[in-house]
Chains A and B, each alone.
Chain A
Amino acid sequence: MSLLSILRHQRANWLGLLGGTLLVLLLVLAVAGPWLGLPDPTRGDLRARMLAPTISWTGLGSHPLGTDQLGRDILSRIIAGSRVTLTIAGSAVVLGGIVGVLLGLIAGYFGGWWDRILMRLVDIQLAFPLMLLALLVVAALGPSLHNLIAVLALTSWVRYARIIRGQVLTVREREFVQAVKAMGAGPVRILIRHVLPNVLTPALVVATLELARTIVLEAGLSFLGLGIQPPSPSWGRMLADGRTYIASAWWIITLPGLALMLTVLSVNLLGDWLRDWLDPRSERS
């Protein structure tokens, strides 16, 4: 192993660790949010609107990250928003993953018409702008938590399906699969017991990348007013509310924007590292 590749691996580890740490921190905050003793994120005090952040070296102050245009505490809104964002994005990724993996297995294993129909569906959806698809569906169904999860899952299953199908195509020709087949095992048993465990790793990598993309998409929909309805906080919604006040109260839009950026960045770093780590062709340091 050359010195260069060791360095590269070290760096990858480093960044992956950073991403993982940030994400764990965010998860802890999101879960522990209601017990942190912060002000109610949905209740404002009109006399305390648009207060600048009070955080400094000497202490946190009453509103560490300031208040928004309705006098609500921005720190507690960012934390409450992370619960909403992570719930929606997480559920959508899991739901989309289950559907995508299942259809990918079917397409790859059975081939033929199944494969042709499913893969053309994938092609069509990949050619369709995701934001437009999401907008259309939310506009038709109306914005709600469940609809949002369903829409985001709908936009994310295709990537799983495509990658899993590719994996299945190689796995199904391997000797152990052929052997089980020769012993008379049914397709369900083969797929679940023998093929699935061998294709889950790439699905995991796709899942991390999808998570980052879904978080951004959810923020976009919320920004457009098609996400979760107020007063429930969501990051995209906070960006939309704050953009009018960017000149007089920069913190309303900037801080949720930073939170969004850090989250997506850490998920991506983690995903990159995971991909390197799980790739059998790359050597582990």
Chain B
Amino acid sequence: MRNQASAHRLAAALSFGLSSLALSAPATARDLTIALSSNVNTLDPFKSTTVGTDLSVAAHIYTPLVDRGPDLKLRPGLATKWEAVGDNAWRFTLREGVTFSNGEKLDAEAVKWNVERVLDPKTAARNKPWFAAITEVKVVSPTVVEFLSKGAYPDLPDQMSMFLLMPPKWTAENNPAVTAVGSGPYELVRFTSGDRVELKARKGYWDEKPAFDNVTFRILPEDSSRIAALTAGDVDLITGFPTSEIKQIKAGGKVEAGSVAGTRGMFIKLNGLRAPFKDQPKLWRALNLAIDRKAINEGLLDGLAEVSACQPLSSVYFGFNPDLKPAAYDPAQAKKLLAEAGFASGLTMELEVPTGRYIQASDIAQVVASQLGEVGVKVNLREMEFGSFMNKYIVGKNLGDSAYFGLGWPTLDAGGLLNFWETENPQSYWGSESFTQGAKAARSTNDAAKRTELYRKLTKQLCEDSPSLFMFFTPITYAQSKSIAWQARGDDWVRAIDIKTR
């Protein structure tokens, strides 16, 4: 115990000795500091799809039509209600009298302008694919707007929770990447990329007044620095550290720590477009049986992860298939299948591991490699930085034999997630026509019952063919000071509006 405490002090001193000397003014109850693990690259909500950093910060300044609460359910935002009109349209009713902080009106016209900005190729919006199915925005009245789409667009309201609305006139005249004016509960005070974003509560906000006057996001990439900063009282909330640290953080008694089930499913993507995995369903199944997910969960993640039920969806997703069970751990059967697939004398494959993005990725990959080694599959690990991996994976279309990868879909709808296994998707690496046809059929209707049925079939096919070896949903770990209460959530949003004072 004494050892641990002194090591902790050492860590705190190493990481924050200097800065805590300079900034030792005690935080009052109305100030909040949140630590982020990677940089905020832009404040423009159209230029990023990273929920954990860029969009989380932007969501304080801008607001969406529909809000997703900490319980992961949709609730009214700028729109008070929404309904499907036939299979090809959605109608949203907006709140009356909402303005941006510069006085511009947030009405149906502004919503229409925002959709047009996203779809305009000149904007080069990163989130364009989310809304590309919208063909027309009809202004019915200043408070009623309709979205028309080519086919059905069943998860449009979910997707709208990611659509942060910007003021038309201001956006045209300013650079929204480095400055911001919106309709949200906070206003931008200062944005220093790589260091911090400072916000203050906005006067005259149209919804419930936020609990904090000042909110600061600080960028602290190193896990141990974030933990030290929290224990030293420099920040109030941290997320995304290894599960093994929860106990240690709690032991100090000054702060609280815990975890919630996450919505990002981790899996091992097999490259089905080339040897050795092309047209080798038996080999795929063999590998699926050779991984002891439970041992990894208990050994490395303190049992806090949710083992995947042989599908990319967790139970909170629409389209989750409750009939599927996690893949069994059966090394004997795996060896048998390997032999049947023609690899009796063993197989050597590479496993690419992007670093700096997924919780304990390198450790997990090493354990997977040793488990596969036990059935005679030699795994050569190739670690690479996340950005260069994505480049190789999506732009270069040059995935190695396999990769440890994670996918979550913020709308929590099977449609968005299963799309990644359709043949046209650059991330697919699987040439299954029947799956692609099925996924398209499921996307073509707004009828929830019909979609559920179709998605059950598709998830079953993914499980049986195992083009990807579904592992688990990694937990979201968090720790907070005792003066605040974060309504911990399983997606990546980190927002001050989900935090209350105590």
Contact = CB atoms under 8 A, between A and B. Distances in A.
Contact of B295 (A46, A143, A248): A46
Interface stretch (B7-15, B128-136, B486-494): B7-15
Contacts of B370: 42-44, 231
Contact of A248 (B4, B10, B296, B299): B4
A280 B484 CA distance: 71
Contacts of A36: none
A125 B381 CA distance: 32
A230 B241 contact: no
A205 B11 CA distance: 38
Contacts of A241: 362-363
Given A69-B244, A231-B366, A46 B222 contact: no
Given A47-B299, A231-B381, A70 B366 contact: yes
A74 to B, nearest CB: 15
Interface in B216-263: 222-224, 227-228, 241-242, 244-245, 247-249
Contacts of A42: 370
Interface string A125-148: 000000000000001001100000
Interface string A150-177: 0000000000000000000000000000
A70 B244 CA distance: 12
A69 B363 contact: yes
Interface string B7-42: 110110010000000000000000000000000000
Given A43-B370, A243-B224, A70 B363 contact: yes
Contacts of A44: 366-367, 370
Contacts of A52: 3
A246 interface: yes
B310 interface: no
Interface in B379-395: 380-385, 388
B227 A247 contact: yes
Contact of A230 (B227, B360, B362): B362
Nearest to B242: A244
Contacts of B14: 246
A231 B11 CA distance: 27
- Chain A, interface size category, equals 20 to 34
Contact of B245 (A143, A225, A230, A248): A248
A244 B299 contact: no
A122 B153 CA distance: 63
Contacts, number: 86
A244 B383 contact: no
A49 interface: yes
Given A139-B388, A245-B242, A247-B224, A230 B7 contact: no
B380 A229 contact: yes
Contacts of A50: 244
A225 B355 contact: yes
Contacts of A277: none
Contact of A246 (B7, B366, B388): B7
A44, A139, A142, A230 pick with most chain B CB within 10 angstroms: A230
Given A69-B363, A246-B224, A230 B381 contact: yes
Nearest to B369: A231
The B interface, classified by DSSP as helix, strand, loop or mixed, is: helix
B223 A244 contact: yes
Contacts of A70: 300, 363, 366-367
Contact of B248 (A71, A231, A248): A248
Interface residues of B, number: 40
Contacts of B384: 225
A245 B7 CA distance: 10
Given A243-B222, A247-B11, A250-B7, A230 B388 contact: no
A241 to B, nearest CB: 7
B249 to A, nearest CB: 8
A46 B367 CA distance: 9
Interface string B364-377: 01110110000000
Interface string A247-269: 11010000000000000000000
A245 B245 contact: yes
Nearest to B292: A46
A250 B10 contact: yes
A230 B404 CA distance: 14
B228 A225 contact: no
Contacts of B3: 52, 250
B382 A248 contact: no
A244 B224 contact: yes
Contacts of A248: 4, 7, 244-245, 247-248
A243 B367 CA distance: 19
A70 B368 CA distance: 12
A49 B247 CA distance: 15
Interface in A43-59: 43-44, 46-47, 49-50, 52
A229 B381 contact: yes
B28 to A, nearest CB: 27
A243 B380 CA distance: 24
B85 to A, nearest CB: 51
A279 to B, nearest CB: 40
B248 A247 contact: yes
- Most-contacted residue by chain B among A44, A46, A71, A241 (CB, 10 A): A46
Interface in B335-368: 355, 360, 362-363, 365-367
5 contacts: A42-B370, A44-B366, A46-B298, A243-B223, A250-B10
Shortest beta-carbon contacts, A-B, top 10: A46-B299, A248-B248, A250-B7, A244-B223, A246-B11, A247-B11, A247-B8, A246-B224, A225-B383, A231-B366
Given A49-B299, A244-B245, A247-B248, 7 more contacts: A42-B370, A44-B366, A47-B299, A229-B382, A246-B10, A246-B224, A247-B4
